Homo-oligomer: A and B are copies of this chain.
Amino acid sequence: MIAKSMEGLVNNNSVIRQMFEEGQKMAAQYGAGNVYDFSLGNPNVPAPKKVEETIKKLIAEEDPVVLHGYMSNAGFPDVRKKVADSLNRRFNTSFTENNIMMTVGAAGGLNCALKALIDPGDEVVTFAPFFLEYKNYVGNFGGVLITVKPDTETFQPNLPEFEEKVTAKTKAVIINNPNNPTGVIYSEKTIKSIASILEKKQEEYGHPIFIISDEPYRELVYTGAEVPYITRYYKNTIVGYSFSKTLSLPGERIGYLVLPSEADGYDELFGALTIANRILGFVNAPSLIQRVVAECLEEKADIAYYAKNRDVLYEALKKYGFSCIKPEGAFYMFIKSPVPDEKEFVAKAKEYRILLVPGSSFMCAGFVRLAYCVSYETCKNSLPGFESLAKDYGLI
């Protein structure tokens, strides 16, 4: 009946739905306040006030035919200019509006980048653990996602294996920085090493290999941490950005792609990106929200809110004997399961009404993801449950 390519996904999806429904059921049974749902990456911080103010201002001042109308498939030129200027100010780059395409979130942008770059059979490499949706995005265009096994000590990319897995068929490499699900930031050293491996491989195979850098968490970094701006290290890069997390607008579907002018085949590729935006059915990023984010480029969701959650959870989990890298960015912690089968741990945690996601959902069994984009009370009140879990597993 449905497309063969969709059959597995439809069957699989019901498993995820079951999980979600179980959470809902638990909330109904025990009261939402007594369920510690760390399973979803849906920000719990409201959008900055300036978002609302800007919407009101635009509605009052702008011509509705323009405000809600079609524009170039790449987005309003003045919005793209403002995005470029903001990047230049912050990262010492030199972009213009011709390096920016507004997109329907980062997910929309990544699909455009892959559509522009890959044909059926082409390979795209990524590093485990990773957001499993990448497999579907690559599969949309008949590509094959090749995964590099994790370094579970540092969760920096496993570079020796990476070097082996880049072949003549590799058209692109997806990285995610800061990383979901680990909260790790790929260091400047890592970025330089990836760039140097790819420079060599490009020369060896005689064609460009693009890094697609998925960066929805770029602005969510904690004190002292820095996320290197990758176009400064490797010219064949497409950066995918989303305002979902920074401005807490995940439902509005707004982001952008960056393609530097120095990229090989820049003209052709920028053309392909805008056509991909059109023919995949996005057509353009939503118009009113384009104008809103252009006025809110210096705004940020309250990072202190997430930092407080991180600190209370990280300190407690460490005290209880759990093992976990301290997140430098995003709002995820990736905790080592006390037993090899992390699904058993996830099931056990549910007995304390704590909901976590198994690492195998990120191609990294033996770990679980905790999303702390929830209220401080949820974090705080979950601690006795974690303490009991630690006792159950003999960690304390």
* Chain B residues within an 8 Å CB radius of A281: 104-105, 107-112, 137, 280, 282
The answer to whether A272 and B44 touch (CB under 8 A), given A64-B248, A108-B281, is: no
Residues of B within 8 A of A67 (CB): 251
B208 and A1 contact, CB distance less than 8 A: yes
Answer yes or no: A297 CB below 8 A from chain B CBs: no
Q: How close is A107's CB to chain B, nearest CB, in angstroms?
A: 4
A384 at the interface (CB under 8 A from B): no
Given A68-B252, A71-B251, A283-B107, A275:B6 Cβ within 8 A? yes
Q: Residues of B contacting A112 with CB < 8 Å?
A: 281
Greatest chain B CB density within 10 A among A68, A250, A279, A286 is at: A68
| A:269-328 near B, CB below 8 Å | 269, 271-272, 275-276, 278-289
Interface centre among A70, A250, A286 (most CB of B within 10 A): A286
Complexed CA–CA distance, A275 and B10 (Å): 7
B59 in contact with A46 (CB, 8 Å): no
Does B115 lie within 8 Å of A6, measured CB to CB? Answer: yes
A118 within 8 A of B: yes
Contact call A105/B140, Cβ cutoff below 8 A: no
Judge whether A144 is part of the interface by a CB distance below 8 angstroms: no
Are A1 and B104 in touch, CB under 8 angstroms?
Answer: no
Are A286 and B283 CB-contacts (below 8 A) given A44-B65, A252-B68? no
Task: Give the A interface residue count (CB, 8 A).
Answer: 80
- A55 at interface by CB-CB < 8 Å: yes
Fill in one digit per residue for A1-31: 1 if any B CB lies within 8 Å of its CB, else 0: 1111110011001100000000000000000
Query: CB distance B64 to A47 under 8 Å?
Result: yes
* Interface members, chain A 232-283 (any B CB < 8 Å): 248-253, 264-265, 268-269, 271-272, 275-276, 278-283
Contacts A279-B9, A283-B105 given; does A118 touch B3 at CB 8 Å: yes
A282 and B251 in contact, given A3-B272, A142-B142, A269-B2 (Cβ under 8 angstroms): no
Contact with B along A43-75 (1 / 0, CB 8 A): 111110001100110010001110111110000
CB contacts (< 8 Å) of A46 on chain B: these are: 63-65
| Cβ–Cβ contact A3 & B251, under 8 A | no
Give every chain B residue within 8 A of A249 (Cβ-Cβ): 68
Is A340 located at the chain interface by the 8 A CB criterion? no
Task: Establish whether residues A251 and B70, one from each chain, have CB atoms under 8 Å apart when the complex forms.
Answer: yes
- Asked whether, in the complex, the Cβ of B70 is within 8 Å of the Cβ of A59, the reply is no
Q: Which residue of B lies closest to A65 (CB)?
A: B46
Given contacts A13-B271, A47-B64, contact A251 B284 (CB under 8 A): yes
Considering only CB atoms, which chain B residue lies closest to A46 in the complex? B64
Q: Chain B residues with Cβ under 8 A from A47's Cβ?
A: 64, 68
B-contacting residues, A128-174, CB 8 Å: 133, 136-137, 139-142
Task: Answer whether residue A117 sits at the interface, using C-beta atoms and an 8 A cutoff.
Answer: yes
Given A248-B68, A282-B282: A1 touches B105 (CB 8 Å cut-off): no
What CA separation (Å) do A109 and B278 show in the bound complex? 13
* A108, closest chain B residue (CB): B281
Question: Which residues in B have their C-beta under 8 angstroms from that of A104?
Answer: 104, 253, 281-283
Nearest Cβ in chain B — how far from A109, in angstroms? 7
- Please, which residues of chain B bring their CB within 8 A of the CB of A287? 251-253
Q: How far is the CA of A142 from the CA of B112 in the complex (A)?
A: 16
Query: Can you show 20 pairs from A to B with CB atoms below 8 A apart?
Result: A3-B122, A3-B141, A4-B119, A5-B141, A6-B116, A10-B268, A14-B271, A46-B64, A46-B65, A47-B64, A68-B248, A69-B248, A70-B251, A104-B283, A107-B283, A111-B280, A115-B140, A136-B279, A142-B142, A253-B287
| Ranked 3 nearest A-B pairs via Cβ | A251-B287, A111-B281, A1-B265
